[in-house]
Amino acid sequence: MVAPRSLPGPLGVARVGPAVPPLPAVDHGRLESLAVRWAQLSHDGDPRAAAHFATLLRRLASTVHAEPFWPLAARSVGAELVTTGMCRDRAGPDDGVEDVIVPCLRLLRRDAPAALGLDGRDGERRLAAVLDELVAGAVGAYRDGMRPVAAPAGGRAPGVTERHIRAVYEQAAVGIAILALDGRVLDLNPALTGMFGLDGPLDQPRPVSDFVHPDDMVDVVERLQRLVRGEPEVVRMELRLVRVDSRVMWVHVTASRVLGEDGGPSHLMVVVEDVSERHRLWSRLHEASFSDQLTRLPNEAVADQWLERAFAGDGPAHVGICALDLDGFHPIGDELGQQVGDRLLLGVAGRLQMAAGDHVVCRTGADEFAVLVADPAGAPEVARLADRLQAALATPFHIDTHTLVVSASIGVAEASTEHASAAELLRAADVARAWAKALGGGRRVVFDPERDAAEADRFALLSGLRGGIERNEFRLAYQPLVRLADGRVRGAEALVRWQHPEQGLVGPNRFIELAEHSGAIVPLGRWVLEAACTQAAAWWRELGDDAPFVSVNVSPVQLAEPAWVDEVTGVLAATGLPPHLLQLEITEQAVLGDEVVVLDALGALRAAGVRIALDDFGTGYSSLAWLRRLPVHGLKIDGSFIDGLRCPSADPTDTSIVRALVELAHALGLEVTAEWVETAVQAQRLAELGCDVGQGRWFGDAGPGEWVPGLSRRSIGH
């Protein structure tokens, strides 16, 4: 073959104009975005540079989609990166191009397929060939720019004789060979003789196979034969030649026919330029773009390509992955220095390779690694590998005078290459790793699709919460609070529901916790308070002094808001609801945060006439002294204690607990409400135990606010 990074194609110089017509397969939005990111690597995001890079990307797109495919056309793009100054100058002769080209290669390998409309193995093959030629063009232009450039000749000067031509042949800095049409090497100029390490001129013609590397021989013969037939006028190629000391050198060859007096070809003239140094630099760039510079492990680009090939259809039937994130690595580097951190990473990489055996270990981030498994026997085998990786890291690392202990959060995933994709497997491993990290690290977690679906559902609800409030998607239902002595409605608790546009009616148990964690509970609680007070004011205007109060649950997050008390009094004033007809339900947990602030807020509301109730009483850890300090009007006994009273033979323990709670509350002058009252037996026993108010299905499920006045006019549960 010609060169490992060059694909066979038409010979000749590619002509690529400055403007390229749009291609239907190219995603122009992604192409422009990629151009901006490319400019940021080389020109700090200069808009003019971004426009130039967009033009270069279109030229690459034209090259990669061209038929017949001719990747060498991309060399002009690589050369332009250097000749037009698009790669910033650096200090060292090699570091300048390497520092810019390596990140460019990584960026293009990752994002160019989507921007240029490439998919499948053929697209991957074409992009790899085009990027290889781009690098060759950049490296060649960079090296050429470091050599003095002779003034171009304007043609053969008057008076040039054969003696002058012979002098050029013998004194040229490049190698020149004269070949017979059958491929025998007839003569070498002194420069080429020196390249091969020969002591002097050839003593007799020698076959070209004596000089060409065996792996390139077939292609060389085929191209020279085409040249003799006149199919191309000139052949250009890169190949390997072998010196007399068996060392291999990379050369760039330009071969052309020499015509005889009869007008037919008589010889071949081959101009040879030693590009071994350029190729070594190219190899370093190629290696740097595919391997981690510190650990020398394959990098993230290799992991992505490995997975893409595995899922391409002719790879393994199943693929597994262990995605590792070192726990607490960054503080080590911050406290002990980068050198210690780097040595720790080297130690981690070595242990992971030992534990992984034949599996592929990649470094995918600053403190992240991945182990790729081909054809595992299910997720349990990948999980056992993760356990071995954890065990390998368990022994402390000794670096200088430091003893360092490191663990990893490992996400384990396994998938069928027929029914999944590389992106899905990577996402599964990342999700499982996040679960492991959330549990405190130092463990492995296997991806669970059911848990993931549930969390995705939670995320969908979370993302729509604030918008749902603005779109007025929430509803209130009211459950009666009934006096056990006579069955009259004492009040009604406002229960929030979400009329989700896609999931239908969603209960509070699915979104209240999400709202609290995200902070959306503040605007949601404000809406509930306003809607409930507006409805209760309507009851009061209809029923007067017989109107029931409305009870609204208050989140601890709301209680911590500095302006919350003002919001409550403002809503009462705006709706015209008398303060004593509003009851706010809080939990013991709401007071455990900033106790002083919460007690002041509750005291201010009680002083304003608002009722305060302590919800879920009996499940917390409060003492009697603490309870005496709370400015509350009543307690709501948690339903778990009431449930034991539903059977004819009541649970004696629950009976004793309820009796004690009722007596305690009455001793403090508080009204007692029992939740989860679902049977007549429960209602009767609670009345006998002295409980004041009952709430539950026995008295009716929650309903619209318009029902409450009708319920207030009759006895319920009797």
DSSP of 406-458, one letter per residue?
-EEEEEEEEEETTT--HHHHHHHHHHHHHHHHHTTSSSEEE--HHHHHHHHHH
The Cα 620–Cα 705 span in angstroms is: 32
Q: Beta-carbon neighbour count of residue 151 at 10 Å? A: 5
* pLDDT value for 454: 83
Q: Is the pLDDT of residue 527 over 90?
A: yes
Q: CA-based angle 663:666:669, to the nearest 5?
A: 160
**Quick one: average pLDDT of 525-531?**
96
* pLDDT value for 77: 85
* pLDDT value for 264: 83
* pLDDT value for 4: 32
As to burial, measured by CB atoms within 10 angstroms (0-12 exposed, 13-18 middle, 19+ buried), residue 438 is: exposed
Cβ contacts of residue 397 below 8 Å, gap of 6+? 344, 347, 348, 403, 404, 405, 406
Identify whether the C-beta of residue 481 lies closer than 8 Å to the C-beta of residue 493. yes
Taking only the tens place, the pLDDT of each residue in 350-380 is: 999 999 999 999 999 989 999 999 999 989 9
Region of 442 (left: φ > 0; alpha: ψ -120 to 50; beta: rest) is: left
The Cα 238–Cα 693 span in angstroms is: 93
End-to-end Cα separation, the chain, in angstroms:
96
Q: Quote the pTM value.
A: 0.53
**Quick one: average pLDDT of 667-679?**
93
**Quick one: average pLDDT of 496-511?**
91
Q: Is the pLDDT of residue 593 over 70?
A: no
Residue 292 banded pLDDT, cuts 50, 70, 90: confident
DSSP of 455-501, one letter per residue?
HHHHHHHHHHHHHHHHTT-EEEEEEEEEETTT--EEEEEEEEEEEET
Residue 479 banded pLDDT, cuts 50, 70, 90: very high
Cβ contacts of residue 307 below 8 Å, gap of 6+? 319, 321, 372, 422, 425, 426
Taking only the tens place, the pLDDT of each residue in 40-67 is: 876 655 667 788 888 888 888 888 888 7
Cβ contacts of residue 16 below 8 Å, gap of 6+? 59, 62, 63, 73, 76, 77
* pLDDT value for 130: 84
Q: Beta-carbon neighbour count of residue 520 at 10 Å? A: 21
CA distances from 197 to 167, 203, 248 (A): 21, 15, 11
Cis peptide before 68 (omega within 30 of 0): yes
Average of per-residue pLDDT values in the chain = 84
The Cα 18–Cα 15 span in angstroms is: 10
Residue 348 banded pLDDT, cuts 50, 70, 90: very high
Greater confidence (406 vs 106) lies with: 406
The Cα 429–Cα 300 span in angstroms is: 14
Segment holding 269, helix H or strand E: strand 265-274
Strands 549-553 and 504-506: unpaired
- Per DSSP, the three-state class of 390 is helix
Residue 98 banded pLDDT, cuts 50, 70, 90: low
Residue 169 banded pLDDT, cuts 50, 70, 90: confident
As to burial, measured by CB atoms within 10 angstroms (0-12 exposed, 13-18 middle, 19+ buried), residue 634 is: buried
**Domains of the chain, residue spans:** 28-141, 172-281, 290-449, 464-712
* Chain centroid, CA 672 distance in Å: 52
Residue 19 banded pLDDT, cuts 50, 70, 90: very low
* Beta-bridge partners for 31: none
Indicate if 464-712 has the same CATH topology as 172-281: no
Taking only the tens place, the pLDDT of each residue in 72-95 is: 778 888 888 777 665 544 434 444
The class (CATH top level) of 290-449 is alpha beta
The Cα 429–Cα 426 span in angstroms is: 5
Q: Is the pLDDT of residue 10 over 50?
A: no
Residue 537 banded pLDDT, cuts 50, 70, 90: very high
* pLDDT value for 21: 43
Greater confidence (129 vs 245) lies with: 245
Please check whether the domain covering 464-712 is classified as CATH 3.20.20.450. Answer: yes
Torsion of CA 416, 418, 419, 420, to 10 degrees: 70
Please check whether the domain covering 172-281 is classified as CATH 3.30.450.20. Answer: yes
Q: CA-based angle 205:209:211, to the nearest 5?
A: 80
* pLDDT value for 646: 82
Residue 158 banded pLDDT, cuts 50, 70, 90: very low
Residue 154 banded pLDDT, cuts 50, 70, 90: very low
